[in-house]
Structure 1
Amino acid sequence: MSNDTYFIEGLCTGEKTVLKEIYDQFFTKVKTFVLQNKGAVTDAEDVFHNALIQIYIRLKNRQLVIKSSFEAYLFTTCKNLWRRELNKKRVTKHKVIELEDKETENAYALLEQEQWELYIEKFQLLSENCRKVLTLLFNGTSYDEIVKIFSYSSKVVARQRVFKCKAKLTKLIQGDDKFSKIKKL
């Protein structure tokens, strides 16, 4: 049995020793991420706990298939939950928002995770060039830098390439049955 299978089965059954191992092996990385991104240890604990609950629910209700390692999936889930928390905090500084109950909050987090998984799945289907161009763009690289990296003749060419890659990604996502289901929610 692989470590991933061991962790997944232990999480599904609620095996205390496996849950402790998951915490011992993976919490430090999550804590470091949260602390480096304007959080406290209690925030990291909440995010980690909520991520485990979210994964457990998805494993039980939707027959979740984890295509990466368990650690990578757990960490990505934690990062997405923490980013969501940061966005909520930023919004509350500027306006009053209604409080949501935990079930509603978990449902939104689960929906965001499903959207992220669909995005990643379709992103991997793009050409290597498109993946590189979009990754640079999404990480804040300027069009001038993209022109230099790919030896494009101008920023117009770089913008056209980005547009075509985004359009291809959008078409792949919207053409998937999962997109229609997520969109209805």
Structure 2
Amino acid sequence: MANQKQDDYLLQSLIDGDDKGIKEIYKKVYPKVRKYILSHDGSEDDAKDIMQKSLLQLLARAQATDFKITSSFDGYFVTIAKNLWRRAAKMAKSRVTNEGVLDLVHEEREIALAAYEQEKWELFQEKLSEISQNCREVLTFFFNKVPYVDIAKKLGYATENTVRQRIFKCKSKLKEAIYSDKRYNELKEL
């Protein structure tokens, strides 16, 4: 329960603009964000930039009336940062740079798109937690690119083909859960 109180305090500090709480967020979360960015071809400046964008995105989300973090504050925040960094890295690869031309990508649009992606991720995570334990295990191995032969051994399936069939069925159940949620249609329309 102490962790929940701490998480609530950190979130409320961000909403209220409380310097002491925001410094605590930096102290607690920035090393994790920095480590991720640096290990994924980013720089110290990139890490600082992503930290700022993550704070802004979380603040925007937290001001929604029904907002609630269901995981830990750290985990939620780092997921936002990872999503923002993946998006930034993807944009950088596709962007042609010219020193004499101003960057036409607007910061507000980037934050909005990152928030949209975060909402999709949260819906996916929520629906993943609602399917059976066995399906969660199978799909977690699948999403982490564990070879079928290893999944069969770890979960006691007879063959790789059985694993393929189980993955197909579990993915179908997950898709059905996601598609039947009214938030999916709202996110799809954006």
- TM-score w.r.t. the length of structure 1 is 0.91
Q: Distance in 2 between matches of 1:29 and 1:147?
A: 33
1:55 aligns with 2:51: no
Q: What pairs with 1:11-160 in structure 2 (closer than 5 Å)?
A: 11-92=14-95, 99-160=104-165
RMSD: 1.7
1:165 aligns with 2:165: no
Q: Distance in 1 between matches of 2:94 and 2:129?
A: 32
**Gaps in structure 1 of 5+ consecutive residues:** none
Once the two structures are superposed, residues 104-146 of structure 1 have per-residue CA deviations (whole angstroms, 9 ceiling, x without a partner) of 1111101100000000001011111111111111111112222
Mean alpha-carbon deviation: is it higher for 81-90 or for 166-175?
A: 81-90
Q: Residue 76 of structure 1 aligns to which amino acid in structure 2?
A: T
The corresponding residue for 2:185 is: 180
**Gaps in structure 2 of 5+ consecutive residues:** 97-102
Identity %: 38
- TM-score w.r.t. the length of structure 2 is 0.89
